[in-house]
Amino acid sequence: MTTIDADAHVIETPETWSLLEGEERRYIPKIVTQVFGEAVRTNFKGRPQAEYWAINNRMYARDGNVGLDTPRESREMSDVEARLRHMDELEVDIQVLYPTLLLRPIADNSRLELALTRSYNRWLSGIWKAGGGRLRWVAVPPLRSMDKVRDELGYARDHGACGVFMRGLECELPLTDPYFYPVYEIAAELDMAICIHLGNGSFEVHDFYSKDTPYTKFKLPTIGAFHSLIMDQTPSKFPALRWGMVEVSANWLPYVVNDLKLRYLNEGRRLPENVLAANNFYVACEVTDDFNYVLPVAGEDNLIVGTDYGHADSSSEIEALRKLRDIGGIKASVVAKILDDNPRALYGLS
């Protein structure tokens, strides 16, 4: 059995943006360090934050969500071989890589977004090549330049990408908005999953919440995106497309599905018995989830699991894949599906 970490991360570095060329180099993010006064913020471990990305006159913490249980050269990908060796120690065969900085809204204009997405995607393509097929990744689409999406995703697909990165809100719009239909069509044609990762791409909503409300700022918009997509029946409009919900656990699923049933009934509709299977949806669980509560609703074939490698937030568990095998009450055959069959199906891995 292959073991697939369905949600691992890279921590962006100056190398990430080194592939910007020509006039685009004026968009290179800068790292600034606080050297005077008390720290304004602390990270998830309570340590003072000192480093920030400066992008388009906005500041983003660089060291706010860094997992110190991972070697720096591994989480920043300065030494891909070190990452692979750590994966061997964790008994992980394949990781699917997601961004870190880009979980937040970064670009409010098409030129900046296109420059950053191109450089990020080409950085990941180099990591994939160096990883010998063990480091797959999700591509960041230039959503404000819809005419560039096909070329960018095509390049990414040819260089190891197996999904399209999206957040619960994008471009100040819900994911049900027809504006995103071309992205869904292209992803289906390229056999790439739409991977809705914990995050928020809306400046308006992101900035409304304070720094102390990551649950409402990031998790609720992501869970809400699932609810909206099912209510709107968006997946049925793209029957060949696979969808993933990543890093929001799975304990919310029974509650949301029950709410959907009631709303469907009020509209004279009937919700499919297995909502995930009927809509080609896969949900990333966490080892702290109540599987007796989740599995009857999710079924055996649509749950995946990830370590959140490189991060240190409430979803991070570097030993998640090993621990899943040791949880009582889950059949070995179901564990095998969560660790291999299901993520392989979502990401289209051969």
- Closest among 70, 6, 61 to 307, alpha carbons compared: 6
CATH of 4-27+69-347, picked from 1.20.120.1200, 3.20.20.140, 3.50.50.60, 3.30.420.140, is: 3.20.20.140
Question: Residue 326's pLDDT is what?
Answer: 87
Give the CA distances from residue 27 to residues 14, 57, 109, in Å, rounded to whole numbers and listed in that order.
12, 11, 11
Question: Residue 2's pLDDT is what?
Answer: 92
119-152 core/surface letters (b: 16 or more CB in 10 A; e: else): bbbbbbbebbeebeebbbbbbbbbbbebebbbeb
3-class SS of residue 59: strand
Mean pLDDT over 324-343 rounds to: 93
Question: Residue 209's pLDDT is what?
Answer: 87
Q: What is the mean pLDDT of the chain?
A: 94
Q: For 248-299, how does the pLDDT look when each residue is reduced to its tens digit (9 = 90+)?
A: 999 999 999 999 999 999 999 999 999 999 999 999 999 999 999 999 999 9
Question: Residue 41's pLDDT is what?
Answer: 64
CB 143 within 8 A of CB 175: no
Question: Residue 278's pLDDT is what?
Answer: 98
Question: 40 pLDDT exceeds 80?
Answer: no
Question: 46 pLDDT exceeds 70?
Answer: no
Mean pLDDT over 137-164 rounds to: 98
Question: 44 pLDDT exceeds 60?
Answer: no
Q: In which order are the strands placed within the sheet that holds 58-61?
A: 30-33, 51-55, 58-61
Question: 337 pLDDT exceeds 70?
Answer: yes
Question: Residue 38's pLDDT is what?
Answer: 66
Sign of CA dihedral 208, 209, 214, 217: negative
Question: Residue 54's pLDDT is what?
Answer: 95
Question: 129 pLDDT exceeds 70?
Answer: yes
- pLDDT bin (cut points 50, 70, 90) of residue 332 is very high
Question: Residue 192's pLDDT is what?
Answer: 98
Predicted TM-score of the model (pTM)? 0.95
Question: Residue 348's pLDDT is what?
Answer: 98
H-type alpha helices, the chain: 72-75, 80-89, 110-130, 149-158, 181-189, 203-208, 214, 220-232, 253-266, 275-278, 291-298, 320-326, 332-336, 342-347
Beta bridge partners of 173: 170
Domain ranges of the chain: 4-27+69-347
Question: Residue 150's pLDDT is what?
Answer: 98
Question: 327 pLDDT exceeds 90?
Answer: no
Question: Residue 10's pLDDT is what?
Answer: 96
Between CA 311 and CA 113 the distance in angstroms is: 24
Residue 151, both tokens: 């070329």
Mean pLDDT over 110-139 rounds to: 98
Mean pLDDT over 174-194 rounds to: 98
Q: For 199-257, how does the pLDDT look when each residue is reduced to its tens digit (9 = 90+)?
A: 999 999 999 987 668 899 999 999 999 999 999 999 999 999 999 999 999 999 999 99
Residues 6+ apart with CB under 8 A from 212: none
